[in-house]
Amino acid sequence: MWKIRSRRLLVAPNLTVARPTESQLIAPIDCSKAKILHGKDGNFLGSLHYCRLDLVHLRRSLLLSISNGPPQLYFFLGFYCTPESLAALQIFDLMQYSSVSKSELRSKLYDKMERDLDEKGAVFLKGGETSQSLSLSDIFTIKDGSVTPAANPPVRANVLYLSTEYSVPIFEAVKSIFDPYFDKAIWFQNSSLYHFSMFHASHHITPIPASNIEIEAEVAAVKSATEHMCRLKIVLDRVILTSTGVLLGCWQVISGTDPVTIRAKLRTALPHAPEKQLYDAAILHTSFARLLGHPKISQTLGRSSDELQPFHELVARLNKQIRGFEAVVSELWYVEEYDVLALALNGRMKVRKFPLGCYSS
């Protein structure tokens, strides 16, 4: 529910505020021209109302997200500010979206993802889709009993990178628990390429062709956006196995710029990107491994008439070992992938690395 908190507006004397006309509300607007406000902690503070954002598609004035204290969304309803006056605007408490916090949104999302295996079964054992609506045959071939990646046209992705300081301990835990039970029918994510997908400038569902000049313009825009993002301190909320066979680490944010905010910034920086992105705006997840077959039954992994029981048991063991693991994320990568899921499958790619430009208090 929406709850009115205050209508107090702190503005500069020369600020002009006006109601938008109907034509302004429905006319297409170039989001790249919208001016953006940023807080000292780097979080997204505001954009013109007519600039469509990934997390909410509202044609309503300003969207504010302030990370100090409980996450909050603010809207200045029914009005808009001219680009000339926007920079002078200071809004701190107009209307608060108080139903759920971003962490609660993530928890609900992870709860749903966790039920996926039980609700749909082990689809990956039948060659089902992966987490990006690709079939297993689209991304893997099995030759002589070994799994190898398949080729595919390129995409352009923006991801947060998890350094080996944190990824290697996770990789070792995953491998020690799962490797003994799968005879080559598993693909472990390269520990030097653990990442969190944020936003695609082009993806396989909606390809957006771009020349080299246009790609370099995207790179420059992303670099500029990262200067207003703070490094994230995160904690592993849980590990889940999806019905498509992807072993996922699902994370929560302790401090820093929230993924919702990061995606909003990237949406503004990349106005020609696909309207429909691959993931929920709040999600913060990384792939640890991909399963392609049944586990071997042993004395330590009991037999059961339930096909899913061995998978649940292995996931429970991994959660017991690494749940609550903390990490710091300090880089965003712009990646041109020349093979399908190149980051996940050690494919060909071109990477531009950008440090997140501020520190959260």
* More reliable by pLDDT, 143 or 18: 143
| Alpha-helical segments (H) within the chain | 22-26, 83-86, 102-120, 136-139, 164-178, 212-226, 259-269, 309-322, 342-345
pLDDT of residue 342: 60
pLDDT of residue 5: 35
Mean pLDDT of 179-195: 91
Render pLDDT for 160-186 as a digit per residue (tens, 0 to 9): 999 999 999 999 999 999 999 987 789
Mean pLDDT of 29-33: 37
Q: How many residues does the chain have?
A: 361
CB 241 within 8 A of CB 247: yes
The closest of 343, 134, 117 to 245, measured between CA atoms, is 117
Residue ranges of domains in the chain, CATH in brackets: 2-97 (no CATH), 102-355 (3.90.1140.10)
Please check the confidence at residue 4 and state whether its pLDDT lies above 70.
Answer: no
**Which residues fall within 8 angstroms of residue 332, CB to CB, at 6 or more apart?**
158, 159, 160, 161, 198, 222, 226, 229, 262, 353, 354, 356
Report the predicted TM-score, pTM, of the whole model to 2 decimal places: 0.67
Please check the confidence at residue 8 and state whether its pLDDT lies above 90.
Answer: no
